[in-house]
Structure 1
Amino acid sequence: MESRSAHQNSAVVDRIGAAKVLPVLRAADVETANGYVQAVRRAGLGAIELTATIPGWQELLPDVVKNAGDALIGMGTVTTAADAQVAVDRGAHFLVSPYPAAAVRSFAAEAGILFIEGGMTPGELAVTMSAGIGKLFPAHVGGPSFLKSVMAILPGLKIVPTGGISVADVPKWLAAGAFAVGVGSDLYADGDIAAKLAAVISAQ
C-alpha cells in the first residue's frame, strides 16, 4: 500500500502537470515575494518554486507558504541535506535542485517529500527516474530539440525544462514533450505576471 506521503507527492506532480508552467520566483523580501505569488495564483496556477539563491530565504519561506493559500510552494536550488531539512521544516511542499544531489535525494526519500532533481545529460536525467519527474537545466543550452531527443530514450520521465526560457517559448517546449516548463526571470522582468501566464495558458 502506498504511504500517505506518496499520495501527496503524486498530487504535487499532478498539480504541476496540470498547470504546464512552473513559475520560478526570486525576490529580496516578503512583500515582493508575496506579490509574485498572488499574481501567479490569479493566473490560476497552483504550484510555485522559490529559490534558495534569495538572501534570507529561510525567513522568507514560512511567510510565503502562509500567504499562498492552497498553492503549493517548492524550494528550489536546494543542494544539501541541511538546506532540505530547513525547507521542509519551514513549510516547503517539494524540493528542487539544479543538478544531481545525492544527499538531498536520500533526505527526500526518508522524509517522504517530492524531490525534482536536475540534470543536463541523459545519464543525469535518468537518475531522476526514481521520482518519475526531473528537471532539465540549463534548458536553453540544448533547446526544445534536445529535449525531444532525450524524451525518445527516456519516454517515461516527466521532464520540466528550466533555465533561460521565455514565456513566449513555453509552447515550443510543451510541443517537444515537456511535462511542464519552468519560467523564471522573464515572468517578472517587466509587465504583469498574471497577464503573461494567462497568455501562456490560453496558447496551450
Structure 2
Amino acid sequence: MRSIILTSRGNNPLVIDRLLQDAMLWVQVEEIANKQRRDLTELHALFVAGQCKPDARKVPLHDPQDMEELESFGAALSEFYKYLAEGVKNLRDTSQELIGLEFNLTSIREAQKSTSTSVSMKRLSWITFIFLPLTFVSSLFGMNVNVLESNPPWWIYLPFAFSTLGLTMVVWLTFKRYPSIEDKAERVFRKLTQ
C-alpha cells in the first residue's frame, strides 16, 4: 500500500478512502478478538471451577492431568491473545502511519496548487494594474464631450495615459512601502461607507 500512496503523490482520493476502510477494519478485528478472548476466558474459568454443565450436570475435574491441560490451555490462550493484540496494534499503527503519509502528500500537493494559483493571480493583477488606467483614459477620450469637439491630435492621449499609469504606480509603491497609510485609508473608507 505504501508504494500506491507514494505513486499517487496525494492526487488519488480513492487512496484515502481505502486507508480509512482499512483503519476501520483493524478496529473491528480488535473488537471481535477482545470479545472472543472474554468469552474463551469465561469458558476456561467455568471449566476450572467445574461449573460447566454438559448434559445439565456438573462434571467435577478430579484428574490432575485435566487440570494441567486446563492451566496449559489458559496460559496458551493468554499468550495467543497477547500475540494477536500486538499484531493488531502493529497493523493499526501502520495504518495510521499510512494515513498520515497520505494526508501529508495531499497537503503538499494542495500547497503546490495554491502556489500556482497565487502566481497566476499575481500575473492577472499586474495585467490589470497596467491596463486599467490605460482603459480609463481611453474611455475618457472616447466620450462625446465638448472639450474634445475641436478634435485635438491623437498623441494627446499618450501623456494622459502615461501620467495616469505613473500616478497609479506611485500610489501602489507608496502603499507597499508604507502599509500604515493603506490601513488608515482603509479605515477612512470603511467609516465613509457606514
With structure 2 as the length reference, what TM-score do the two structures score? 0.19
Which of structures 1 and 2 has the bigger CA Rg? 2
Q: Which has the higher contact order (CA 8 A, sep 6+)?
A: 2
Higher strand share: 1
Higher helix share: 2
